[in-house]
Amino acid sequence: MQRTLALGATMAALGAVALSCTALAAAAPQPPVIVTGLDAGWPDVRGWNDNGSQAQQWAPWGEWPLAFSPYPTYQDGVRVAVGDVNGDGRPEIVTAPGNGGFTELKVFDGRSFRQLRTILPFKDAAWWAGAYVAIGDTNGDGRGEIVEGLGPGCCTSLHVLDGMSGDELSGFFPYGNNSPIGARIAAADVNGDGKADVIAEPVGTSRISIYAPSGGTAFRTIEAFGSDATGATTFAAGDVSGDARAEIVAAAPTSSGPQVKIFDVATGSITASLFPYGSEYASSVEVALGDVDGDGHTDIVTSATTTEGTEVRAVDTSGHQLADFYVLDPGLAPGASLAAGDLDGDGKAEIVLGGGPTTAPWPPTANGPDQPVVVYKANGTADGRFTAYPGLFQGGVRVALGDVDRDRRPELVTAPGPGMEPEIGIFSQQWVNGRDRGTRLGHFLAFESSFHGGVSVATGDVDGNGDAEIVCAAGPGRPAELRVFDAGGRQRLSLFPFGSDYTGGLSVAAGDLNGDGKAELVVGTLAAPARIRTFHGDGVPFGPVISPFAPTASGVEVGVADVAGDGHGLLLAGSASGEHPRLAMLDPLSGATLRSIELDPSLTAGVRVAGGDLNSDGHDEIVVTPGFGGDSRVHIYNGALDETGGFPAYDWMGAGMNVALATRIGLPVTASPRTMKLKAGKRQSLIVAWFRDAAGSSRYDVRVAISWGDGTSWNGKVLARGGGVYEILSHKRYARSGRYPVTVTWTDNDGRTSVARSRAVVARRR
């Protein structure tokens, strides 16, 4: 199940080398109007159009569904390499994640294991399919470069990166620019010219090819194993013969036992064939090279996944055993990756293992295991341990949708549920060169890093300056504080809505409650008793403390919906948990319940609520989604709380979700469509729609476009009638009788849009 979710959030996008993959998208896709985030489990965020179809994100190479994971999804192990990337004479440890995690390469000090830097190998995109990694001095400057091969997915490429700056020195497609196969990688000087070559193997094969660091056609290809291999072929490269030229050492499980072959690159011949484990069965075997006994000769190190566990052995090129031990660290999952190098300067190589794939608990009661790296001496003594990547985050993700940068398109804002530091992420639909995760515009901590109780998030233009602020509220476990930030993460407001003694967590929303064009702040308690408070954007209380449900109610999720379209939003209250969940609409000034319905009694994990204008007519709809264990659907209601539609957001039952709709900037403009009667072949003057601006004043920057439904369009004439009311006048002649949908779109210089969906009934001309 978790793997299925991972695929929904996986996007294969490359760096500069990927620009040739597909053509430039013709136009930006429409902005999302709904965003959902899983309430628990994999932190899967998805954007939706008003008809329930998935919104799109775009880049120079095309479009794909708007779905991503803003928080850690690492669970497929760690790939490791050892080498001197900074030229200080001491090797570092470089890591890459396995498939399913954001591809962050990390460099760690080989002695203290302190992280030195993070390298993002794709400058105008990102990749969630993992990578393989190696180190080699490809330019002869005395420092090792990081050589990286993408895991299986779109457009397999190899990259050579500066180990200090992370700059890409070269990149190429070894198997054509659309191959999804992925590539294992090594780097070593195979021809004795003092510069490392790039060595790659397509994942799932044993075909090892050698390339110049700049790419081009492979100048040597070796088929390491045939049908005798019963599992994956792994390989390493290094000078094991002492002739100053690297050999290729390949390993694979076979029916005769784990086998190691040494190849002379110049001839392609096998110079040695070893069975370090005898005929013992192994499902997988990894290989690395290093001088484990300090005699000045490079030895062969292997780790095999056997019936007894992960067994590490080291042999010399004649097969003489130098080391043998089992990995006893319970946190180091089978299938570990392998590297070797002299980390402590004693002349003997340490053995470095990156943990194998892990399994997260389900139901998601905790995060998945961290992804560790463990360093061993040749005698099996553990010499150090560190976490390269956090485990799969399973606290779910809270979401908001609002224009935080005044580009007239809403950004997706995320906050984690319980289980990690309170990192807020801001994402757009568009991948832009130089962003650290392609679509991520920025990120910041809403509260102290030690707080792991989860954050509720909303957006709203609380100061009326034309862009939305980000409103964050603490989950359970600390004094329940509300903070308001701008898009740069600068704090603008802090308050404790229910006092500093309340620590039960808050839900949060923002919306205009009094028609002043500014969003008020709405907070609810997530612990009993359920209470709601409202505040102006400067923290001054707006209305009374409201008890939306019976005193026994365990908490409340809040929202704002302007169903009348007059700028005076109403409060939405949904049961946060417990039996007999309810949805209520409340007057924010009096606290009176205006409407209330009972929802599906099976939704005992509560519901999440949001309001927003889905069809651009100036009137807000209401959206309700289930908590964890619900029906995986988005439910849409009108202002009378009648359910009018919905759609499945996730493809498995029980997927509870958080939800948000695009927050409004400024006051609404409501649309009044018309039904017009015309005669075919006759040109007629007609009023096609009315609009009403809740601001009440007439303005002269209004533009109206009319799509007549017959393939033609025209601009309407705007007639200001006072009090914010506009009539839209035009002329039209239909060639044929019939019924035509007429779409009338009102826009102004503030970026506000309203759409009237009129219709024309055209009779035959007599």
Give the pLDDT of residue 148. 95
String of b and e for 541-570 (b: at least 16 CB within 10 Å)? ebbeebebbeeebbbbbbbbbbbbbbbbbb
Q: Is residue 258 within 8 Å of 302, Cβ to Cβ? A: yes
E strand or H helix at 684, and its extent? strand 684-693
Return the percentage of the chain with pLDDT > 90, whole number: 82
14-35 tens-digit pLDDT: 333 333 333 334 578 999 999 9
Task: Using alpha carbons, list the distances in angstroms from residue 487 to 179, 324, 464.
Answer: 38, 55, 15
DSSP state of 4: H
**Where do the domains of the chain lie, and which CATH numbers do they carry?**
36-48+76-359+370-379 (2.130.10.10), 397-661 (2.130.10.130), 669-763 (2.60.40.650)
Give the pLDDT of residue 334. 83
Pairing outcome for strands 78-83 and 92-97: antiparallel
387-444 tens-digit pLDDT: 999 999 999 999 999 999 998 999 999 999 999 999 999 999 988 766 667 788 999 9
* Separation CA 535–CA 538 (nearest Å): 8
Q: How confident is the model at residue 313 (pLDDT cuts 50, 70, 90)?
A: very high
Look up tokens 């102004």; give the residue.
748
pTM of the predicted structure, to 2 decimals: 0.89
Give the pLDDT of residue 52. 93
Give the pLDDT of residue 435. 64
* Separation CA 669–CA 656 (nearest Å): 33
Give the pLDDT of residue 26. 52
Average pLDDT over the chain, rounded to an integer:
92
Give the pLDDT of residue 3. 35
348-374 tens-digit pLDDT: 999 999 999 999 988 888 999 999 999
Give the pLDDT of residue 260. 98
74: pLDDT strictly greater than 60: yes
String of b and e for 193-216 (b: at least 16 CB within 10 Å)? eebbbbbbbbbebbebbbbebebe
Region 728-747 average pLDDT: 97
Q: Higher confidence at residue 84 or residue 100?
A: 84
Structure tokens at 118: 């993070």
Give the pLDDT of residue 126. 62
Give the pLDDT of residue 62. 82
* Separation CA 428–CA 411 (nearest Å): 5
DSSP state of 3: H
Give 374's Cβ-side CA count (13 Å radius): 23
Interior angle at CA 381, CA 379 and CA 384, nearest 5: 135
SS (H, E, C) 308-327: CEEEEEEECCCCCEEEEEEC
Q: How confident is the model at residue 131 (pLDDT cuts 50, 70, 90)?
A: very high
Count of H-run helices and E-run strands, the chain: 1, 58
Region 685-698 average pLDDT: 94
Residue 242: how many other CB atoms lie within 10 Å: 10
Residue 339: how many other CB atoms lie within 10 Å: 30
528-586 tens-digit pLDDT: 999 999 999 999 999 999 999 988 888 999 999 999 999 999 999 999 988 889 999 99
* Separation CA 131–CA 198 (nearest Å): 15
* Separation CA 456–CA 574 (nearest Å): 15
* Separation CA 629–CA 631 (nearest Å): 7
